[in-house]
Amino acid sequence: MSNPKPQTTTTNNSGVPSRDDILARAKDIAAIAARDAARRERQRELPFDIFALIKEAKIGTLRVPEAKGGPGGSIADYIEVLMILGEADSNIPHALRSHFNFTENLALAPIELEDRRHLEHVLAGKLFAGASTEQGTKRPGEITTRLSADGDRYRLNGRKWYATGTAFADFGTFSAIGDDEQPIGVLIPLDRTGITILDDWDSMGQRMTASGGVLLENVEVLPHELTTRKLGTQIGRHSSAMRQLHLAASAAGAVQGALNDGVEYVLRQARTTLHSAAETANQDPFVQKMLGEISAGAFAVKTLIREAARTLDRTAAAFANGDEEAIEAALLEGSLATARTQIIASQLSLTVATNLYELGGGSATSSDRNFDRHWRNIRTVYNHNPLAHKARVIGDYYLNGTTTHLREGRVF
């Protein structure tokens, strides 16, 4: 696979590209990724080459403000980049989820000493990932990974799950229980001895996100690499809503990919049905109607997600203004917007991916074309957090004013 043609890139003093250049480079990278997407997914070939291009283009710097040396891209810009990349392969934006969650804190919070080191890595194009979840516990969120003192350092032992993007990243954050039985986090380089990325994700979809396990065997941790999770802070709550929209944007890429595949299929291979009066599939009124509905569904999904992104940009602006009352109101609206978007976008997305098969006959089900990857990927993304729970929480808010889950972050 060849690299994109060199472009003239506008950079600031730290060598970080502009917001416009990042958007342009995302389109170049997506064009490369799309060429072999069906085969790559079918054979489960992880896209290391694509992530090398993402690092080279410094896509991961997008949300860093200009005042902190970054391009100053908005949340709407970042979501647009995800949909651009996802149109080629929805695995790619999904695998960037932990990275943009990490950089959002750098974007909105004051930069302290340790954050300065991380910021420098981000601006250099490095990617961040990690994992908190574990398998085999009684309830979600329980942690068995241990961080034990070892002289003036520590040792990390355990096994993590849902380590999305870790195979492509340079640094990883992992949760653990310390010697005092309290939760603690670590942020460490992923090439450190004792870290094994297993790539054992066994889902029917999103197969190339490296979302499986990470084995941590006596991994050395330095004192300055200890962290604390920030889910309950205001920025943490905002990032939780953004993580949910990130999933929807990844799935939106699959929706647009289904539309693109449908158009190509009709023009290149599909035949009319036996009883059709049309000479070719592209002249068949029923095929035209179905493709029109698929296009409308894809448009509606992207429009919903773009509007939710603008809502989250208003939250980011509230942080910049420092008005506590405005921040709280914006956080609540952001949680509502992203949850409502997921509920409806999921329904539209799955319909589009199903209707793709109505454009032709048996040839549409060819494993070589691998159209089913779109439906499988969308269904897998929207299984991450129960949408029925989100709908109930929203209904409870409108009927009774309940905001408990909306204000706790996590999956809202």
Question: CA–CA separation, 91 vs 108, rounded Å?
Answer: 27
pLDDT digits (tens, 9 = 90+) for 293-316: 999 999 999 999 999 999 999 999
pLDDT of 401 strictly over 50: yes
Query: Hey, which residues does 146 pair with through a beta bridge?
Result: 157, 177
- The confidence band for 355, taking pLDDT boundaries of 50, 70 and 90, is very high
Q: What is the rounded CA–CA span in Å between residue 333 and residue 335?
A: 5
DSSP H/E element including 176? strand 171-177
Q: Would you say residue 249 has pLDDT above 50?
A: yes
Close Cβ partners of 163 (under 8 Å, ≥ 6 residues apart): 129, 130, 131, 172, 197, 210, 211, 212, 213, 214
| Chain segment 80-103, per-residue pLDDT in tens | 999 999 999 999 999 999 999 999
* Whether residue 4 has pLDDT greater than 50: no
What per-residue confidence (pLDDT) applies to 170?
Answer: 98
209: phi then psi, degrees, rounded to nearest 5: -95, 0
Q: How far apart are CA 287 and CA 285, in angstroms?
A: 5
Pick the range with the lowest mean pLDDT from 206-220, 265-279, 299-313, 330-344.
265-279
- Euclidean distance between CA atoms 46 and 362, whole angstroms: 29
Q: How confident is the model at residue 141 (pLDDT cuts 50, 70, 90)?
A: confident
Q: Which residues contact residue 32 at a Cβ distance below 8 angstroms, ignoring those fewer than 6 apart?
A: 1, 2, 3, 4, 50, 53, 88
Could you tell me the pTM of the whole model?
0.94
Q: What is the pLDDT, as a whole number, of residue 3?
A: 44
CB 231 within 8 A of CB 215: no
Token representation of residue 216: 């941590």
Question: What percent of the residues of the chain are helix, what percent strand, and what percent coil, each to the nearest 5?
Answer: 55, 10, 35
pLDDT surpasses 60 at 5: no
